[in-house]
Amino acid sequence: MDPQTIIYGEVLGAGLLADIATPAGDSPHPVIVSVHGGRWHYSNRKALGAAPDVNQWADLGYFALSIEYRLVTCTPAPACFQDTLCAIRWVHAHADEYHLDLDRI
């Protein structure tokens, strides 16, 4: 199953993208918020070895969110950190919709 791509935030009219995968069942799911490797300078949410496979985590019972963020090479810090916080706020805002356990992020 292909992950679903969502917009988890918006900056100056541009959407911040994330791939999500939801496990089966309605019980509250623990959450993984993945921030790809690259030390804020390079890479992306789909890069092999830099970002986890959200479907693999969903198969293990986790709601998985792999985010894209603004790189410091294009936008000064702390933009990348702010994007990560925005993703966590998105998780909180959609907890009921996706049956998420906010005590296990």
Predicted structure pTM score:
0.87
Query: Cis (ω within 30 of 0) for the bond into 78?
Result: yes
Residues 6+ apart with CB under 8 A from 37: 43, 47, 49, 50, 51
Residue 103 has a pLDDT of 97
Domains of the chain: 4-98 (3.40.50.1820)
Residue 38 has a pLDDT of 60
Instruction: Tell me the three state secondary structure of residue 13.
Output: coil
Determine contact, residues 34/67, Cβ cutoff 8 Å.
yes
User: What string of pLDDT tens digits covers the 105 residues of the chain?
Assistant: 678 999 999 998 889 999 999 999 989 999 999 987 665 555 566 766 667 789 999 999 999 999 998 877 788 889 889 999 999 999 999 999 999 999 999
∠ CA(77), CA(80), CA(85), 5° rounding? 120
Residue 48 has a pLDDT of 64
Residue 24 has a pLDDT of 93
Distance CA 101, CA 105 (A): 7
Residues 6+ apart with CB under 8 A from 93: none
